[in-house]
Amino acid sequence: MKKVVSVLSIITLLALILTLAPANVLAQDEVTCESDVVVQADDWLSKIADKFFGDVLTFPAIFEATNAKAAADDSYATIADANLIEPGWKLCIPTAEYAQVILGVGVEAPTSAESIQIPTIVEGMTNVAFVYVGHIGDGGWTYAHNEGRRYLEANLENVNTAYLESVPEGADAERVIRNLARQGFDVIFTTSFGYMDPTGVVAEEFPDTAFVHISGQKKNATNFGNVFGAMEEMKYMAGMVAGAKAAEDGSNRVGIIAPFPIAEVIRLSNAAALGMRRTCPDCVMDIRWIFTWFDPVKEREAAESMLDAGATVIITGADTPGPVQAAGERGFTGLAYDSSNACLGLEAVCLGVPYWNWGPIYADIVNGVRDGTWVPEDYYGSTADGLLGFYGFMECQEPYPSVPASVIPEMQDVLGQMQAGTFNRFTMFTGPINDNQGNEVIPAGVSLSQSDLEGLSEGYMSAFSIEGREPCTICMGYLVEGFDSTAEIPPLN
């Protein structure tokens, strides 16, 4: 009997795994088009996918196959954004086997829970590796970086990319980064704050490899740079639309979800409040600190908490679009974060998404490394550099239907100034600005410095041995006027 049971359970389990797991048998470079398709007006990718494969979810296969094909044959279109295809484009409908491989994901760099396998390089190509803190399926931060990686694949010739997901920050990260460098990757992007020191350590050991860290401030003179950007500009846009919507709702109350009381989050929240006050001087911003970047239940409950307190627009600074969904279920609206398609499926109740557009800066860096012109920088990009976007207002996008029509011209105007560089983070944070208790924090005519914006105190900089910056004088430790007077910044520890 016991034997029977055990045999049965093994069979069941195998059956489950076999039916669920697609076979990863083909190499990815063998793209054979079953047929070609020319995009018609009113087509979209998942519609075409449904037509050929009987499943809307197979659209990534067409996306990948067409881009792979386009690299060799430019009669095929290059799809930068799966949500956006144009009439007249020629698409490649791959064979079913190829589609299976694509949909079976993780083909480029298989990882497993027990051990992280280091991907291999391709001789004769520029090899670029990415270290991700989350999974590419997070729909947020890591997803946006992976879109940047795909941009590289689609737009640069002779580039081979690989990625590693869910790499823990700390000692594991250092080991992974070192192994990637040893493997011979030419450029290594490490995409989480906690990779800053490990990346710096490995950069010293491999002077011929270029290391680029995202969201930190450290660099060296030869092969270690960092990249981050002025998301505050897009959060200002978020605040503008939120304020206009709350005024239209008659609530005059906006809620913002803040993950951690760190300078970055405080800066972004302040920018949203400044934007809100621009379009709705009477509006009040509520805030909930959730002490996590990712917890679907907590993010949603934070939204519910503020909706219960009277807010009708929710801006989230955390990873999931759950708060937008929660607002939508009550007939209100919200704004998601991080990646351009965060509001996919929530268009009716979404006001926009401040998002990261990593592709172009990645491409610049990789091209620079190839030409030997790349110099490590403490790079802080802005809307003017194309690093950031606000979904609904960038090229080829339409504002979501819930965006109040009256605010669209002003937002387009502000966006235009940001793109021209005439309105930026420094003009945004120019005094007089008071805190939410009415005390003046930025005197009239004074603009914050970069270190002020990043809240870089002397202690912080010595802890991370960051050089070349002055310590902040007006450090990012206040909530601006516009926040509810009961709102406070909790201590971090």
Smallest gap from Cβ 366 to other proteins, in A, equals 25
Smallest gap from Cβ 17 to other proteins, in A, equals 8
User: What mask, x for binding other proteins by CB under 8 A, covers residues 259 to 278?
Assistant: --x-----------------
Say how far apart CA 17 and CA 404 lie, in whole Å: 49
Helix (H) or strand (E) holding 225: strand 224-229
User: Is residue 92 helix, strand or coil?
Assistant: strand
The C-alpha torsion from 302 through 308 and 314 to 315, rounded to 10°, is: -30
- Four-residue CA torsion sign, 23, 26, 32, 37: positive
Say how far apart CA 440 and CA 479 lie, in whole Å: 11
Distance of CA 78 to CAs 60, 299, 392, Å? 13, 36, 22
At residue 125's C-alpha, the angle toward residues 120 and 129, to 5°, is: 45
User: Which amino acid belongs to residue 366?
Assistant: V
57 touches other proteins (CB under 8 A):
yes
Smallest gap from Cβ 367 to other proteins, in A, equals 29
Report the length, in residues, of the chain.
493
106 touches other proteins (CB under 8 A):
yes
Say how far apart CA 203 and CA 206 lie, in whole Å: 5
Smallest gap from Cβ 97 to other proteins, in A, equals 17
12 touches other proteins (CB under 8 A):
yes
Helix (H) or strand (E) holding 288: strand 284-289
User: What mask, x for binding other proteins by CB under 8 A, covers residues 135 to 164?
Assistant: xxxxx---x---------------------
Longest Cα separation, the chain: 84
Residues in contact with 253: Cβ distance below 8 Å, sequence separation at least 6, in sequence order: 246, 283, 284, 285, 286, 309, 310, 311, 312, 313
DSSP letter at 168 equals: P
105 touches other proteins (CB under 8 A):
yes
Smallest gap from Cβ 34 to other proteins, in A, equals 20
300 touches other proteins (CB under 8 A):
yes
465 touches other proteins (CB under 8 A):
no
Size of the site for other proteins (CB under 8 A): 67
Smallest gap from Cβ 194 to other proteins, in A, equals 18
DSSP letter at 108 equals: S
168 touches other proteins (CB under 8 A):
no
In this complex, which beta carbon is closest to other proteins, that of residue 283 or of residue 428? 283
Say how far apart CA 454 and CA 380 lie, in whole Å: 11
User: What mask, x for binding other proteins by CB under 8 A, covers residues 306 to 345?
Assistant: x-xx---------xxxx--x---------------x--xx
392 touches other proteins (CB under 8 A):
no
Cis-peptide, bond into residue 432, ω within 30° of zero? yes
10 touches other proteins (CB under 8 A):
yes
Residue 133 Cα to chain centre, angstroms: 12
Residue 437, both tokens: 């208790």
**Cβ pair 452, 203 in contact under 8 A:** no
In this complex, which beta carbon is closest to other proteins, that of residue 261 or of residue 471? 261
Stretch that binds other proteins, among 194-202, 364-372, 464-472, 483-491 (CB under 8 A): 483-491
* Residue matched to tokens 């790079």: 379
Stretch that binds other proteins, among 150-158, 234-242, 297-305, 355-363 (CB under 8 A): 297-305
Instruction: Figure out which of the listed residues 35, 125, 170, 291 binds other proteins, where binding follows CB under 8 A.
Output: 291
1 touches other proteins (CB under 8 A):
yes
301 touches other proteins (CB under 8 A):
yes
Instruction: Figure out which of the listed residues 75, 112, 115, 373 binds other proteins, where binding follows CB under 8 A.
Output: 112
At residue 363's C-alpha, the angle toward residues 362 and 366, to 5°, is: 85
In this complex, which beta carbon is closest to other proteins, that of residue 96 or of residue 105? 105
298 touches other proteins (CB under 8 A):
yes
Closest CA to 318 of 264, 278, 243: 264
42 touches other proteins (CB under 8 A):
no
Residue 215, both tokens: 């969201």
Instruction: Look at phi and psi of residue 54 and say left if phi exceeds 0, alpha if psi is from -120 to 50, else beta.
Output: left
Say how far apart CA 76 and CA 216 lie, in whole Å: 38
In this complex, which beta carbon is closest to other proteins, that of residue 351 or of residue 366? 351
In this complex, which beta carbon is closest to other proteins, that of residue 80 or of residue 344? 344
Smallest gap from Cβ 23 to other proteins, in A, equals 13
Stretch that binds other proteins, among 69-77, 365-373, 419-427, 485-493 (CB under 8 A): 485-493
Smallest gap from Cβ 305 to other proteins, in A, equals 4
Say how far apart CA 485 and CA 487 lie, in whole Å: 5
Judged by CB under 8 A, the chain residues 416 through 455 that form the site for other proteins are none
464 touches other proteins (CB under 8 A):
no
In this complex, which beta carbon is closest to other proteins, that of residue 38 or of residue 105? 105
In this complex, which beta carbon is closest to other proteins, that of residue 36 or of residue 347? 347
Query: What is the contact surface with other proteins in residues (CB under 8 A)?
Result: 1-2, 5-6, 9-10, 12-13, 16-17, 20-21, 57, 60, 103-106, 112-114, 134-139, 143, 166, 261, 286-292, 294-298, 300-302, 304-306, 308-309, 319-322, 325, 341, 344-346, 484-488, 490-492
